[in-house]
Amino acid sequence: MKRRDGSGTLERSDEGPFEPGAGDDHERGSRSVDWAALSHALTPTALRHRAIDVSVSTDKRRYGRGEPVTITVEFHNRLPVPIRLRTDSPTRWTWAVDGYREASRVPPAMPDRPTAFSFSRRERKRFRRQWPQRIRVADDEWEPVDAGTYAITVRLARGDAAEQGLVDRTEIVLEE
């Protein structure tokens, strides 16, 4: 029970019926539902894959030589329930330019332990990357690309990403 003394401060007594910690519920421990785990257990795998929309876009369609390309990647959970997808590595998603992952010919050091990419209800995750119109050919060496059309692809880090619709692609033109 709360009481105010003459100074205006609150004083609590141990006799009040609405005090936190009183009663049987608190002694058993509070219970809460892990909605993400419940959703993962109840949502069919095929529906989980279709729930996530993957998109990639650039700030322009045409770029001049040497002009950095700003890449925007978005993942959107279209369902009103949390969704969690397994990935093949701790790197949850990747981007590539004409098949070169992160615009590099150097093979990535990719750990092979799986993890998960989790989304809250209707959550959107946006990422931005910049491509300087160069391809990495060694750990410390990058070569500029020629003028032409290039495909930028984004995918979840899964072997079956294309089959599950977890890939998107856009094309840009690099002018002389």
Mean of the per-residue pLDDT values for the chain? Answer: 84
Cα dihedral angle (132, 137, 139, 142), rounded to 10 degrees? -30
**Residues above pLDDT 90, as percent of the chain:** 59
For residue 4, pLDDT beyond 60:
no
Residues 160 and 88: their CA atoms lie apart, in Å, by 10
Is 82 inside any structural domain? Answer: yes
User: pLDDT per residue over 21-77, tens digit each?
Assistant: 554 444 455 577 676 676 667 777 778 788 999 999 999 999 999 899 999 999 999
The amino acid at 44: P
User: For 150, phi and psi rounded to 5 degrees?
Assistant: -130, 140
Q: Which residues in 107-128 are b (16+ Cβ under 10 Å) and which e?
A: eeeeeeeeeebebeeeeebeee
Q: What is the pLDDT of residue 43?
A: 74
How confident is the model at residue 36, as a pLDDT?
Answer: 66
Give the structural domain span for 127: 34-174
Residues 6+ apart with CB under 8 A from 39: 81, 82, 83, 84
pLDDT band at 107 (very low <50, low <70, confident <90, very high): confident
In a domain, 22, yes or no: no
Mean of the pLDDT values across residues 134-150? 94
Structural domain contains residue 23: no
Pick from 117, 90, 112, 93: nearest CA to 36: 117
Q: Could you tell me if residue 133 is inside a domain?
A: yes
Q: Is residue 55 part of a domain?
A: yes
Distances (CA, A) of 66 to 46, 99, 143, 151: 42, 20, 11, 17
Task: Give me the pLDDT at residue 62, please.
Answer: 97
Residue 41 belongs to a domain: yes
What is the amino acid identity at position 130?
A: Q
pLDDT of residue 126: 98
Statement: residue 15 has pLDDT above 60: no
> How high is the pLDDT of residue 131?
96
| 142's tokens | 């990058």
| Residues 108-131 pLDDT 10s | 776 678 898 999 999 999 999 999
Mean pLDDT of 86-92: 91
CATH number at residue 106: 2.60.40.2360
The total of structural domains in the chain comes to 1
- pLDDT for 108 equals 76
Per-residue pLDDT at 97: 97
Residue 13, in any domain of the structure: no
